[in-house]
């Protein structure tokens, strides 16, 4: 794979294999200094991360994506649709099925194994899915997968923004795709205007401490009174800024029948009130069984009960 033609050929085969594994987007980026590192450092210094102290760890690796392991050269960056056509509801679309970390990491590991088979020798590699000190949107934009929307999500012109991002870092010198250079948000501010808690300090700058997703998932204490009513009937996460985006209204996709992100039985067909009442009386054993392999485990049962009590109060149901 030293000749240019061989490099291009393996890159094409990597993309074909990625699509064959079920990914909806596949691109290649060159590793190096992250273009958005300074902006991220400034964001942390502004205390917009709230209680998410883990985001400040691994600063050197965050600033230079070649550092996770010696010899890392390229990133195979993938996107996986989690469904933007399903109706909104009390649980954000991404969290209604299986845990995306597990689903995507398993597929990236399969891609790694396939790549070693194609090369005929071991290849150093490491998969990341929202689990390490990498600026993943930075790599995804470099790989041509989309631009940074004003709501901070990566937006793809053929898929919208309802997709997960993952990367396989490898020590292969692959030909990189052209970065996505254009900003296709234009003058639109629908996402900023729709946020119930005014969580955007500026276009593309999210104050997480005001974001409903942060408040219902990451924050450990009581939800501040100033935001309590604005949470409305949202039990876990929030899709509002994505749901109003014209790119999602036009281009987001339905989930295939075999998608691991289809709604699980524990959540299916239940409105906010019904689900909140179930959570209020749920035991730890019931929670562990019903939410096995669910990303909703992150909030723990205690956090979900807190959210449920607030939703019942907001919807004037019995607590």
CB-based contact 179:141 (threshold 8 Å)? yes
Angle at CA of residue 167, ends 218 and 73, nearest 5° = 130
Instruction: Tell me the two tokens of residue 57.
Output: 């760890």
182: left (phi over 0), alpha (psi -120 to 50) or beta: beta
Instruction: Tell me the two tokens of residue 262.
Output: 């289809």
DSSP state string for 73-86: -EEEEEEEE--SSS
Instruction: Tell me the two tokens of residue 179.
Output: 């970065």
Q: What is the rounded distance in angstroms from the CA atom of residue 312 to the CA atom of residue 319? A: 6
Q: Which residues are catalytic?
A: 130
Question: How far from the centroid of its chain's Cα atoms is residue 297's Cα?
Answer: 16
CB-based contact 274:280 (threshold 8 Å)? no
Q: Which of 88, 19, 80 is nearest to 249 (CA)?
A: 88
């Amino acid at each position: 794979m030293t000749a240019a033609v061989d490099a291009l050929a393996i890159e094409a085969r990597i993309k074909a294999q990625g699509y064959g594994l079920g990914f909806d987007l596949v691109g290649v980026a060159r590793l190096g200094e992250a273009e958005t590192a300074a902006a991220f450092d400034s964001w942390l210094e502004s205390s917009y991360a709230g209680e998410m102290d883990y985001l400040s760890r691994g600063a050197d690796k965050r600033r230079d994506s070649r550092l996770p392991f010696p010899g890392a050269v390229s990133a195979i960056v993938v996107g996986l649709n989690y469904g933007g056509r399903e109706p909104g509801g009390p649980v954000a679309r991404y969290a209604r099925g299986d845990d995306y970390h597990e689903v995507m990491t398993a597929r990236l590991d399969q891609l790694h194994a396939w790549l070693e088979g194609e090369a005929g020798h071991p290849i150093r590699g490491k998969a990341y899915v929202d689990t390490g000190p990498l600026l993943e949107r930075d790599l995804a934009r470099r790989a041509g997968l989309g631009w940074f929307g004003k709501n901070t999500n990566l937006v793809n012109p053929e898929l919208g923004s309802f997709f997960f991002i993952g990367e396989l870092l490898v020590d292969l010198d692959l030909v990189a795709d052209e970065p996505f250079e254009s900003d296709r948000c234009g003058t639109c501010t629908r996402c900023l205007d729709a946020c119930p808690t005014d969580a955007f300090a500026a276009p593309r700058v999210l104050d997480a401490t005001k974001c409903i997703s942060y408040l219902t998932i990451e924050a450990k204490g009581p939800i501040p009174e100033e935001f309590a009513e604005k949470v409305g009937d949202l039990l876990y996460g929030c899709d509002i800024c994505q749901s109003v985006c014209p790119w999602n209204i036009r281009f987001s996709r339905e989930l295939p029948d075999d998608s691991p992100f289809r709604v699980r039985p524990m959540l299916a067909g239940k409105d906010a009130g019904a689900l909140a009442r179930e959570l209020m009386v749920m035991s730890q054993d019931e929670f562990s069984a019903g939410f096995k392999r669910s990303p909703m485990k992150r909030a723990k049962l205690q956090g979900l009960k807190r959210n449920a009590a607030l939703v019942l109060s907001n919807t004037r149901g019995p607590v």
